[in-house]
Amino acid sequence: MTRGLRCLLHGNVEAAFLFNPLGIALFLGITIYLLYCVIVVAAELPRLRWKNLSQSNALGIRIGVVMLIVLNWIYLIVREQAHS
Protein backbone atom coordinates (compact mmCIF):
# COMPACT_ATOMS: atom_id res chain seq x y z
CA MET A 1 0.00 0.00 0.00
CA THR A 2 2.83 2.41 0.81
CA ARG A 3 4.51 1.87 -2.56
CA GLY A 4 1.17 2.44 -4.25
CA LEU A 5 0.58 5.70 -2.40
CA ARG A 6 4.11 6.85 -3.23
CA CYS A 7 3.46 6.17 -6.93
CA LEU A 8 0.13 7.98 -6.69
CA LEU A 9 1.70 11.03 -5.06
CA HIS A 10 4.32 11.11 -7.84
CA GLY A 11 1.53 11.12 -10.42
CA ASN A 12 1.96 7.54 -11.61
CA VAL A 13 -1.63 6.31 -11.22
CA GLU A 14 -1.18 3.16 -13.32
CA ALA A 15 1.75 1.91 -11.23
CA ALA A 16 -0.15 2.74 -8.05
CA PHE A 17 -3.07 0.55 -9.10
CA LEU A 18 -0.70 -2.26 -10.04
CA PHE A 19 0.71 -2.34 -6.50
CA ASN A 20 -2.66 -2.51 -4.72
CA PRO A 21 -5.82 -1.79 -6.72
CA LEU A 22 -8.30 -1.86 -3.85
CA GLY A 23 -6.10 0.14 -1.49
CA ILE A 24 -5.59 2.93 -4.01
CA ALA A 25 -9.29 2.94 -4.93
CA LEU A 26 -10.18 3.25 -1.23
CA PHE A 27 -7.65 6.05 -0.76
CA LEU A 28 -9.06 7.97 -3.74
CA GLY A 29 -12.63 7.34 -2.57
CA ILE A 30 -11.89 8.60 0.93
CA THR A 31 -10.17 11.68 -0.51
CA ILE A 32 -13.18 12.47 -2.69
CA TYR A 33 -15.52 11.90 0.27
CA LEU A 34 -13.50 14.27 2.47
CA LEU A 35 -13.62 16.95 -0.24
CA TYR A 36 -17.38 16.43 -0.45
CA CYS A 37 -17.65 16.86 3.34
CA VAL A 38 -15.65 20.09 3.31
CA ILE A 39 -17.80 21.53 0.51
CA VAL A 40 -21.07 20.55 2.23
CA VAL A 41 -20.01 22.04 5.57
CA ALA A 42 -18.49 25.21 4.08
CA ALA A 43 -21.46 25.91 1.80
CA GLU A 44 -24.03 24.68 4.36
CA LEU A 45 -25.57 22.32 1.80
CA PRO A 46 -27.84 19.41 2.70
CA ARG A 47 -26.06 16.07 3.04
CA LEU A 48 -26.82 13.12 0.81
CA ARG A 49 -28.60 10.26 2.58
CA TRP A 50 -29.25 6.62 1.74
CA LYS A 51 -32.87 6.29 2.76
CA ASN A 52 -34.83 3.07 2.84
CA LEU A 53 -32.09 0.75 1.63
CA SER A 54 -33.77 -2.62 1.32
CA GLN A 55 -32.29 -5.67 3.01
CA SER A 56 -31.61 -7.35 -0.33
CA ASN A 57 -29.70 -4.29 -1.57
CA ALA A 58 -27.76 -4.08 1.69
CA LEU A 59 -26.90 -7.78 1.43
CA GLY A 60 -25.76 -7.29 -2.17
CA ILE A 61 -23.50 -4.44 -1.11
CA ARG A 62 -21.99 -6.52 1.70
CA ILE A 63 -21.37 -9.48 -0.60
CA GLY A 64 -19.82 -7.17 -3.19
CA VAL A 65 -17.45 -5.65 -0.64
CA VAL A 66 -16.33 -9.08 0.58
CA MET A 67 -15.80 -10.22 -3.02
CA LEU A 68 -13.70 -7.12 -3.77
CA ILE A 69 -11.51 -7.79 -0.74
CA VAL A 70 -11.04 -11.46 -1.66
CA LEU A 71 -10.29 -10.67 -5.31
CA ASN A 72 -7.78 -8.00 -4.29
CA TRP A 73 -6.12 -10.46 -1.92
CA ILE A 74 -5.89 -13.11 -4.66
CA TYR A 75 -4.45 -10.52 -7.07
CA LEU A 76 -1.78 -9.51 -4.56
CA ILE A 77 -0.81 -13.16 -3.91
CA VAL A 78 -0.61 -14.00 -7.62
CA ARG A 79 1.35 -10.84 -8.40
CA GLU A 80 3.83 -11.55 -5.61
CA GLN A 81 4.37 -15.13 -6.77
CA ALA A 82 4.91 -13.96 -10.35
CA HIS A 83 7.65 -11.58 -9.19
CA SER A 84 9.40 -14.20 -7.05
**10 and 21 part of one domain:** yes
The range of the structural domain enclosing residue 70 comes to 50-84
Residue 84 has pLDDT above 80, yes or no: no
| Residues 26-78: tens digit of each pLDDT | 999 999 999 999 999 999 999 988 788 899 998 999 999 999 999 999 999 99
Q: How many domains does the chain have?
A: 2
**1 and 41 part of one domain:** yes
Query: What is the rounded average pLDDT of the residues 15-35?
Result: 91
Pairwise CA distance, residues 1 & 7, whole Å: 10
* pTM score of the predicted model: 0.75
* DSSP category for residue 1: -
**36 and 56 part of one domain:** no
**36 and 54 part of one domain:** no
Residue 44 backbone class (left: φ over 0; alpha: ψ -120 to 50; beta: rest): left
Q: How confident is the model at residue 1 (pLDDT cuts 50, 70, 90)?
A: low
**58 and 27 part of one domain:** no
